[in-house]
Structure 1
Amino acid sequence: MGPAELTSRSTPIPGLVLFGLPVHGDHRGWFKENWHRRKMMALGLPDFGPVQNNISFNAKRGTTRGIHAEPWDKFISLASGRIFGAWVDLRQGPTFGRVFHAEMSPMEAIFVPRGVGNAFQTLEDNTAYTYLVNDHWSAAAQADYTFLNLADEDVGLPWPIPLEEAVVSDQDRTHPRLGDVAPMQSRRTLVLGADGQLGKALREEFDGDPTVDFAGRAEFDISAENSYLATDWRKYSTIINAAAFTGVDAAETAEGRTAAWSINATAVSRLARTAVEHSLTLVHVSSDYVFDGTAAVHREDEAPTPLGVYGQSKAAGDAAVAAVPRHYIVRSSWVVGEGRNFVRTMAGLAAKGVAPAVVGDQWGRLTFASDIAAGIRHLITQEAPYGTYNLTSDGEPQSWAQIAQEVYRLCGVDPGKITTISTSEYAKPGMAPRPGNSVLDLSKIKGTGFSPSMSHSRLEAYLRSGTLL
């Protein structure tokens, strides 16, 4: 009755994919696999995460419904009958107004992305039209629909049964023409922790992008359930989590331990659950502290071996994020941003002529917050494969003492003022254990086409400008 194997073909509307379904029949009737996630994903269907199944039964030939663009994705098929299906791209962008139409029977199915207007006309009595959607319908959601008139002259759909003879609701007859339609806006990106060191860099990276929203703790507290309940997640496709508890030594105290686990683990798990429930991409920033520093170079697939509470809480958050189908974990080390950081501290000491003692047996590379922001944007916009990516500055690994010496030299102060000491000599009561080696392998993110900045050039520019670049 149908093709021997599942097939798919693209259409002129981006993301609109038509499937041919194998239908097997005999004297008793027929059977088909109407929905097969793995097989259909292999043929171009996104992993859109359906949560609700609806059926529209249409008693009479000529019943016509649409054109409705809804704020979710749909997978449409027929249980009985035939239709003339019509789709119009009503999303903001260069393909706005583009049209595709096709006849469908139980042997076809079609994936309709969010914002693509959908309509159909039944060609047989007793047509059952069924569709999976990836958000739960609610009356409030109708405010986000975009409608187009079935008889729009610019679109010019060739309805097999003239609309004046068709069964059409009064509401569908009164929808606006294409020239009066406000295109459906793209889903947005939500940056959390937008007032912190990385958050400020992300504000700069996405400055002028109207599709990105920024929320500091006052607008969205990742530890507060009310923040999640008050957010309309249908508006978003991506969460970038720049919120974290970063007090490495403070995490070793009783109060700090509670805060570290609350923010870095429990709250991140709540974000991960939200991403799964709403089919969102979750971007999360990790740390070299999830490792004990015994490996010569840390790859993305290395098992976590955190030494202290901070590293343990970050590793727990990473594990939660890794369970999200669409996730990017961006692992960094020795972050330099707007605010207090090692480089600014050393520059301040150099200006005062101080001769500090600096640890020389911890190795790694600096990571400028602006480079993390640029790397995050690259992964999202290039649709890089989901997973974990190391991201630091490039160049030869250095010790903290060598970086301090370079800061002094760039500030015009004798680098010989820096005294190199060991971690054990520097250790103080209550200080968290540090990984001895924080060097992260960068080959994976380089393979996506992103080139991390060279540490020396970034440090020089940073010091000369006095601002985060």
Structure 2
Amino acid sequence: MRELSVRTTNIPGVLVIDLPLHGDSRGWFKENWQRAKMVALGLPDFEPVQNNMSYNEEAGVTRGLHAEPWDKLISLATGRILGAWVDLREGPSFGETFTLELGPDQAVYIPRGVANGYQALEPRTAYSYLVNDHWSLEAKASYTFVNLADPALGIAWPIPLTEATISDADREHPMLADVTPFPPAKTVIVGAGGQLGRALAKALPDAVALTHADLDITDAAAVAAYPWQGVTTIINAAAHTAVDAAESETGRIAAWRLNVGGVANLVEVARSRRITLVGVSTDYVFDGTSTDHGEDEPVSPLGVYGQTKAAADALLATLPRHYLIRTSWVIGDGKNFVRTMADLASRGVKPAVVDDQYGRLTFADDLAAGILHLLHTNAAFGTYNLTCDGPIVTWCDVAKRVFELTGHEASDVTPTTTQAYGQGKTLAARPVHSALLLDKIKAVGFTPPEGDARLREYVSALLEGEPTASAEN
């Protein structure tokens, strides 16, 4: 009796699973789908939701070749087939073919976009497949097909197709040369008008980038109605980040509506469609009494903004397939602290800047790169801190450095306390210490850049005339 094993094939992602058959005089028993054991051996945890059966009365019944918008695990209850699979996905393996004579003691895992076909070699063959999406007319409209008889595929059908039982529809499928490749899985960026959203759209040019005008995530009906077919990842860069305004009556409502209500709507669609959801959080979920913060530190927000982000983090954590990225002091293409200081320096203004809040800058391009690293390397789901590396600084330190880099005197910036700066103003409470520990993101192979080096590059680009854009959440 063979041992349970998983092995690769010449088509990327197509896997053959050897299944132990436990037999005696009564027949046999097998574990046709055993999530824990198979995932441990390398089968993707593809979360099947529907089981389909195809019964073939006579040998020679031949079906396919269909590429579908879901992953599937194929096996036999009884009988024998020649299985044939053709990669119809866009990319270098397009047209690659794999065949296998299959009985009840093996299964084959087929990722979305790989065409599937088979020929029954014995009467009363029962063919079974688990899929990770529910069949629908909407889904069927996105199938891609290739002709069973195309000589370019090189499939040696044991029973000649002229003698086989084939549906009229399957006979009419196009030849490989005429097939439009199955499109890659889609990533949707929500909140694409803000600093991080712009950086993500630049880093992922093939992604669908949605601004608030394209999709209002606070509208549950609009989120549910969006065409999510084919989407495997949502990156949520939308947020109400007006920290001080969130303390007002109207601001508090707006912050909870977008930061919590909007995330709840995305979590719902991600859960129902098994989409990976990436959320971005903040140092404001902490009270700042610790000098630095790890991913496992309990949240303790001081103000409304931090409270809404902590609530959103808890919602996101209910999804098995999620990444939660905690960051701080974000600088990108839009209105931000560094641009403000550079503008003040250029106008001869000598500001007073707080020197009793401590943290590190994060540049939106690096934040986007870290998110892509987690997705592309299939890092373990969960929470990751991500900022620049290097010394912990204050806002006053950053302002002085901007003045220096723009050719002005650091002494033009006067240090002040948070309390003094807040006199006569309505300001939200801020964490004193915002620095985030970076060990976990480094452990999965991403190296955050040094903060001062990235600040020099950013200010240099400003001096070269990069246009200033207003941020949109």
Report the TM range for the smaller structure's normalisation.
over 0.9
Verify: 1:458 aligned to 2:454, yes or no. yes
SS at match of 2:344: helix
Other-structure match for 1:150: 148
**How far, CA to CA, are the matches of 1:419 and 1:68 in structure 2?**
68
Equivalent residue for 2:89, pick from 64, 86, 91: 91
Of stretches 144-153 and 407-416 in structure 1, the one that deviates more from structure 2 is 407-416
Other-structure match for 2:372: 377
**How far, CA to CA, are the matches of 1:199 and 1:227 in structure 2?**
20
Other-structure match for 2:471: none
Verify: 1:190 aligned to 2:188, yes or no. yes
CA deviation string 1:90-135 (max 9, x = no partner): 1111111111111222221111110111111112221111111111
SS at match of 2:152: coil
Cα deviation for residue 441 of structure 1 reads 1.4
Other-structure match for 2:323: 328
Verify: 1:24 aligned to 2:22, yes or no. yes
**How far, CA to CA, are the matches of 2:102 and 2:395 in structure 1?**
66
- Unmatched 5+ stretches in structure 2: 469-473
**How far, CA to CA, are the matches of 2:103 and 2:454 in structure 1?**
60
**How far, CA to CA, are the matches of 1:287 and 1:432 in structure 2?**
15
Verify: 1:448 aligned to 2:419, yes or no. no
What is the identity, as a one-letter code, of the residue corresponding to 2:199?
Answer: A
Equivalent residue for 2:161, pick from 138, 163, 169: 163
Other-structure match for 1:433: 429
What is the identity, as a one-letter code, of the residue corresponding to 1:37?
Answer: R
TM-score (norm 2): 0.94
Verify: 1:357 aligned to 2:352, yes or no. yes
Q: Alpha carbon RMSD of aligned pairs, Å?
A: 1.8
Of stretches 269-278 and 306-315 in structure 1, the one that deviates more from structure 2 is 269-278
Cα deviation for residue 327 of structure 1 reads 2.0
SS at match of 2:374: helix
Other-structure match for 2:223: 228
Other-structure match for 1:311: 306
**How far, CA to CA, are the matches of 2:312 and 2:139 in structure 1?**
32
CA deviation string 1:198-249 (max 9, x = no partner): 112222223xx3x311111111111112332332222212111110110111
Task: Map 1:272-421 to 2 at 5 A.
Answer: 272-421=267-416
SS at match of 1:162: coil
Task: Map 1:62-73 to 2 at 5 A.
Answer: 62-73=60-71
Identity %: 55
- Unmatched 5+ stretches in structure 1: none
CA deviation string 1:331-369 (max 9, x = no partner): 111111222211222222223333322211110011111
Cα deviation for residue 444 of structure 1 reads 2.2
| Alignment check: 8 A CA contact 1:21 1:109 kept | yes
Other-structure match for 1:205: 203
Cα deviation for residue 468 of structure 1 reads 8.3
**How far, CA to CA, are the matches of 1:227 and 1:464 in structure 2?**
42
**How far, CA to CA, are the matches of 1:333 and 1:399 in structure 2?**
12
| Alignment check: 8 A CA contact 1:48 1:279 kept | no
| Alignment check: 8 A CA contact 2:201 2:207 kept | no
| Alignment check: 8 A CA contact 1:462 1:468 kept | no
SS at match of 1:264: helix
TM-score (norm 1): 0.94
CA deviation string 1:245-301 (max 9, x = no partner): 101111112222222122112221221222222222222111111111112221122
The count of aligned residue pairs is: 464
| Alignment check: 8 A CA contact 2:50 2:130 kept | yes
**How far, CA to CA, are the matches of 2:365 and 2:419 in structure 1?**
32
What is the identity, as a one-letter code, of the residue corresponding to 2:400?
Answer: Q
